[in-house]
Every structure is written in structure tokens, then in C-alpha cells.
Structure 1
Amino acid sequence: MKNRRVNRKWELITSIVLGTLLIWFAMFYPLPYYIESPGGAMDVRSVLQVNGEVDQEDGSYNFTYVTVQQATAIKLLFAAFDSHSDIQSEQEMTGGADSEEYYRIAQFYMETSQNLAKYQGLTLAGKEVTMDFFGVYVLGLAEDSTFQGILNIADTVVSINGKTFESSAELIDYVSSLELGSDVTVGYVSSGIEQTADGKIIKLENGKNGIGISLVDHTEVTSDVPIDFQTGNIGGPSAGLMFTLSIYTQLADPTLRSGRVIAGTGTIEQDGSVGDIGGADKKVLSAAKSGATVFFVPNNPVDEAVLKENPNAKTNYEEALEVVEEEGLSIELVPVTTVQDAIDYLEKTKSD
């Protein structure tokens, strides 16, 4: 009888320990997956100051963001039943970069976004501004790139076959025109030292020829109008449109917001076009929850190569519209392809 009681006691203790470990594992053990879900919206004034002055006009411009967290078993379970959460593998989320590299990549995107916003905002406001192009930051390399082990994240590619360029678009066009398998010499700067390396032109995933690097512009903007960003750990390019609108408004038309709480998303390009972003469905939810009444969203045609792989692929606008209709959100969804589209809308709809 005594032995039975002892055995039951140890069975109970074992069950409690195993149960505790299982609960701990489910709640806290990080898995190689990430969960994206609606985040929030942030007033641009909290990270941007133009001409040394505080923007005190009524209303606000807000950039939206998604929340990204590493998954645990319990978080994965909840995310699986949440239509507004997406689960991605570690490889899909980071592209194979470690946490430090991933952070640096996000900061490079933010730096480029800020410079393009400065350039566009100042240009549209009629201010003198120049933007120098120094090359492209290396953000990653394809597995079959012949420059694996040579180029590294944060290196700056400054020339191809001795040719320099005025934009990343020019560089990409030139490389795409080279024959598959042909020799190519890349000039680059690594740790402040200019170097060259030889490799081959390969076929990229998008079907074009290239050297197999992901990239973003390395630029610098010069103007007599001081523009100061304090974005801290915030990374990525998707706030470009809202940064541009804020700069333009403060310099050219201070009452353009007309007291409205305006949110939006979209990259900004050198020609003023607004580029696509990820998570448009989540960002419009973030905007609506923050109290925004207007949401600007990119509306560029889906690339034909993407449509071939996924005939149901949607534009950013279509993604956002689906959520607005499903959730019955009280927010004006405004599709744009250029920053001028957004300015025109605000001018036409502002109150007298």
C-alpha cells in the first residue's frame, strides 16, 4: 500500500513537471516562424522636423506599420484562426539574414526612403535640392550568384564593367542587357575600401539577367532647408509617401491636411511614383483603428510575372479594399500611383 502511494506521488510529480514544461514550451519556446499582424499608426511629426519648426497645424499625417513577432506554438495557434495574421517561415521573413543583418537591411531601406522623401518633398515645394547617387547598397545575394562570398551586406556597388550610373534603375537596365553567362566586373566599396570582383551574369527569379543581388539606393540629399528625421529603430521603406506629404505640406501648403487625420503607406521613388508595399490589408486596419479618416494606398498593376505564378494576385488597393468592405471600416480609401495623386486629392477635398 505504501509503495502504491509513493508511486502515485511520483506519477503526480512527473505529470506536473511534464505539464509545466509543455506549457512553457508552447508559450515561450521560439519557433522558426514569424507572425505578421496589424500594428498601429504613428504621427509623422513624432519623427520628422522641417526647417527647424514644429508642425502645429490641425490634423496629422500618419504612417502605418505591422507588428512582427517570432512565433511560439501558442501564438501560431492563435494566428491560424486570425484572418488578419500571416505566418511566414524564418527564411521568407529574413531572406536568410541573421537578426543583426536583418536590422541593418531595414535601416538601409529607411535611409533611402528618407532621402527620396526629402528630394520629392522639396522639389514639389519648389525648393533647391540635389541628390547624389553613390551606388547601391547590397542587401542580399541569390544562392546561385557568382558573387557569393565576395560581396557582403552593406557593401556599395559603384560600377559595372567600369560604367557608373545615376540611379539603381539605370544600373539594373544595364545589367539586364548583358548576355546570360557573360563575364562581368563589379566595382564596390567595402569597409571604405574600393575593390573590384569578377563574376558571371545569371538568370534571376524574375526571369531577367543580373548579378544576383538585392539592392537599395545609396544616396545623399543636399538642400538649404534643414530636414531632420529621428526614426530610431524604425526601419523599412513604406513610410516614404507620408514623409513626402509632410515635408511638402509644411513648406508649400500648411493647411493642406485641413484638420484631417490622414494615414497612408507606400514607398516613394525618385520620379515621384508610389511603390507597392507588403501588408496593405493589415495597414488599413491599423489606420482605421487609429482614427484616421483617409488612407492612401498604392494602386500599381500587378506584374505579369507575378500573375503567371498567382492569377489571383491583387494590387495593394484591392487588398485594402477587401478588408474595408469585409470589416465595414469607416475610412476613405484613396488609391494613388504618384505623390501628386495624393496632393491633388487633398487639395480637392479640403474644407474652406
Structure 2
Amino acid sequence: MKKFRKYLIWLFIILLLLVGLYPLPYFVEAPGAAQPTSQVIQVQRHPDHQKGEFLFTTVAVKSGTALNLLLAKILPFQEILPKKAVLGDNNNQEYERTQRYFMENAGNSAIEVACKKAHVSYHKQYLGIYVMSILPQSHFKKHLRVGDTITQIDHQEFSNAQAFQHYVKTRQPGQKVTLTYKRQGKTRQVTRSLISLNKQHQSGIGITLVDHLRVHSRPAVQIHAGAIGGPSAGLMFALQIYAQLVRQDLTHGQIIAGTGTIDSQGNVGPIGGIDKKVYAAQKQHARIFFAPQEKITRHMKHVHPHYQTNYQLAQRAVQRLHSPMKIVPVTSFTDAINYLQTHH
């Protein structure tokens, strides 16, 4: 009888574990890490001599198991999101590839912006067309995949996505084209027919695409982000690169965290999960946190009457944490530089 009872207890524990670890159609968004930018950025012949640190912040996305969903209800700064809201029409692998592209693009923009500000020479290398998604009806569906870079169409190279799209539009639906593309360093080719994209019978491959670029500078800048994806480290990367290029201690011995996308003109854009990033920064004792401050238009107010900017959400998070960390709103790279140079 005792053995049978012991067996039932173990069976119950195993079943409990299986239920707790079974993935449900959700993700849990939680605080990630606040990591020194100096650990992932190298500037040739310009080592980092700052007494403080710039930190870039991340959000952790965990599988929506029953156990994780339960913990998300208990632990602070955790949010349950439907899988569809995170992945869209992509699967996990496709989502990770697009996030790696966003990180690569953020790094390119950070290098360009920092080089411009530091008056350092740089140039852009055009790699081709990056495949972001593929329509189910595309005849290339079984051959292309998200993350491929198309380098030629019908053995012709183009200097931007617009020229590539213009060439495709001059062809007719049903006409065959040959794509040359790269995947994991290997060059491949495929020939298939174009499809009709709309009622006007505009021809297309059936993909969403973006330009794939690489920025080269002198001195050379390398960014080793590893498995970290997404565009939100752009601002903090640019600050680290600029500080090393001009050999200035912009931190003045402080720990300075932040987040925000950055474009080639130095504009800083909003990101998701800023409250979780504030939490991660507070854990690393950051004194200052740069937060994007976007403009709220009338249309945005009409559609989302309770919309709050990244800056407002970051302020709420600091108040909730009872933290002395100062939230600094920025709309551009220049805003952040000006603040650092005038607030020692």
C-alpha cells in the first residue's frame, strides 16, 4: 500500500511538471539584462578609458508555459502577451532572424551617427535585399527564407531596394526571373515565376524586403552582440562608439543606462518594454537612464487616448521602484551628447 501511495505521489509530481512546462500560445515579457556597451563594442586603436559605464538594456522573452504564466502574475514588471502579438506571421526561427537584422541595422546606424559627429570617415557597402517575410502564394516560398539576402535578379545588381522593385514592376505576372541570394555565406540561385500582387496586376516576387547594408569606418568599429536581437540598443551603441572615437569620458564616472532606436540621421525612436529595461538598469545601480521622448500627434491621441510615451512609462517605473535614477528624455543622439557634456 505504501509503495502504491509513493507511486501515486511521484506520478502526481511528474504530471504537475508536465503541465507546468507545457508551452501555451503565449510569451512572457520580463526584465532582461543591463549590459556594458564596452563589452560588445571594439574601436580599432581607440580603447575605452571611461571611468563609468554605458549600459544597453534588454527585455527577456520567455516561453508561455503554465509555470511562467503563473510567475508572471506574481513577479513585478512581467507581462503576458499572445504569441501572435510577438511573432506576427513568423515562426520562432524567422522572428529571431528578423531581430538579428534589426540589431545589425542598429549597429550600422550607430557607427554612422557616431562617425559623423566625430568627423571620422566611413562608407556604406550595399549587400542586397534582406528578406523579411514571404507571402504564402509566392512561387519562391519553398526556396527563399526569412534572413536571405538577394544580391541579383536576372544577373543584375542594384544599389537599393527601390531600384530592385522598379525592375520587378517592369516584368509581367507569370514571367520567370532568376534570383541570386546568400544564406549563411553561401551563394544560391533559383528561377521561378512572378505573381500578381493586386487588382492592378502589379508583378512581384511575393516578399517584404529592406535594404541590407554594412557600414565601414576608419578606425574600424566592430559590434559583437551575440544572440541579442532587436533595434533598441542603437542609441547606447552610438554613445559608446562616439566616446571612444573622440577619446572622451562622457560618463564622468557614472553608470548610465538607456534605450532607443537610432536612424542614420541620429533620431531616437521608441521601443517596447521600457519599464522592464528601467528595472534592469536599476538592478545595476544606474544613475541616469536615457528614454525616447516621441511626439504624440492628434491622430495618436484620437486612436489611443491613453497612450503614454516611453519617457512617461519610464518615469512611472522609477516611481514604482522608489529609485533615485534620473530619467532623461531624448529625441536625438545630439540631445544625449548635450546632456552628458553639460551635466557632470
Task: Settle same-fold status: TM greater than 0.5.
Answer: yes
Paired residue type of 2:106: S
Secondary structure, counterpart of 1:32 in structure 2: strand
Aligned-partner Cα distance in 2 for 1:202–1:51:
50
Query: Share of identical aligned residues, percent?
Result: 35
Amino acid at match of 1:44: T
Aligned to 2:194: 198
Name 1:268's counterpart in structure 2: 262
Residue 79 of structure 1 and its aligned partner are, at CA, apart by: 0.7
Distance 2:174 2:149 in 1: 16
Compared CA separation, residues 34 and 76, structure 1 to 2 (3 A): same
The yes-or-no answer on 1:232 pairing with 2:223 is no
1:320-347 deviation digits (Å, cap 9, x = unpaired): 1221223322111111111111001111
2:114 paired with 1:121: yes
Describe how 1:1-352 pairs up with structure 2 within 5 A: 10=4, 12=5, 15-141=8-134, 152-156=145-149, 189-191=180-182, 192-193=187-188, 198-201=194-197, 215-302=209-296, 309-350=303-344
- Aligned-residue Cα RMSD (Å) equals 3.5
TM-fit CA distance, 1:303: 6.8
CA distance in 2, matches of 1:52, 1:232: 22
State the distance in 2 between where 1:336 and 1:25 align.
Answer: 46
Distance in 2 between residues matched to 1:154 and 1:301, nearest whole Å? 32
Superposed CA deviations along residues 250-299 of structure 1, whole A, max 9, x for unmatched, are 11251222111111111111111112211111111111121111111111
After the TM superposition, which of the residue ranges 63-72 and 12-21 deviates more from structure 2?
A: 12-21
CA distance in 2: counterparts of 1:171 and 1:273, whole angstroms: 26
Aligned-partner Cα distance in 2 for 1:298–1:317: 6
Amino acid at match of 2:112: Y
TM-score, normalised to structure 1's length? 0.79
* One-letter amino acid of the counterpart of residue 194, structure 2: D
Is the alpha carbon distance of 1:215 and 1:298 closer, same or farther for their aligned partners in structure 2, counting shifts above 3 Å?
farther
SS at match of 1:38: strand
Q: Which amino acid letter does the alignment assign opposite residue 190 of structure 1?
A: Y
Number of residue equivalences: 329
User: Deviation digits for residues 114-162 of structure 1, max 9, x if unmatched?
Assistant: 11111111111001111134444122246688976675312336799x9
For residues 247 and 299 of structure 1, what CA distance do their matches in structure 2 show?
Answer: 22
Amino acid at match of 2:275: D
Aligned to 1:207: none
2:100–2:230 CA contact under 8 A, matched in 1: yes
Render the CA deviation track for 1:192-248: whole Å, top value 9, x for unaligned.
Answer: 357786344569xxxxxx998555541021222111222222222211111111111
2:181 partner letter: S
Cα gap change, 1:188 to 1:346, in 2 (>3 Å): farther
**Amino acid corresponding to residue 268 of structure 2 in structure 1:** V
Give the Cα separation in 2 of the matches to 1:108 and 1:217: 10
Distance 2:206 2:78 in 1: 31
Q: Distance in 2 between matches of 1:307 and 1:213?
A: 33
- In 2: Cα distance, 1:189 partner to 1:220 partner: 19
Q: C-alpha displacement at 1:13, in angstroms? A: 5.3
Between the aligned partners of 2:91 and 2:151, the Cα distance in structure 1 is: 25
Q: Aligned AA for 1:243?
A: F
Name structure 1 gaps, 5 residues minimum: 1-5, 204-209
Amino acid at match of 2:119: G
Stretch moving more, 333-342 or 310-319: 310-319
Partner of 1:3: none
* Maintained 8 Å contact 2:46/2:244: no
3-state DSSP of counterpart to 1:31: strand
> Do the aligned partners of 1:34 and 1:69 also contact (CA within 8 Å) in 2?
yes
Q: Is 1:156–1:188's contact at 8 Å kept on the other side of the alignment?
A: no
Query: Does structure 2 retain, via aligned residues, the 8 Å contact 1:238–1:277?
Result: yes
TM-score when normalising by structure 2: 0.81
Write the letter of the residue equivalent to 2:308: K
Secondary structure of 2:232 counterpart: coil
Structure 2 residues without counterparts, runs of 5 or longer: none
Contact 1:109 1:216 in 2 (8 A): no
Provide the C-alpha distance between the structure 2 equivalents of 1:212 and 1:303, rounded to a whole number of angstroms: 33
8 A contact 2:194–2:205 mirrored in 1: no
Shift of 1:44: 0.7
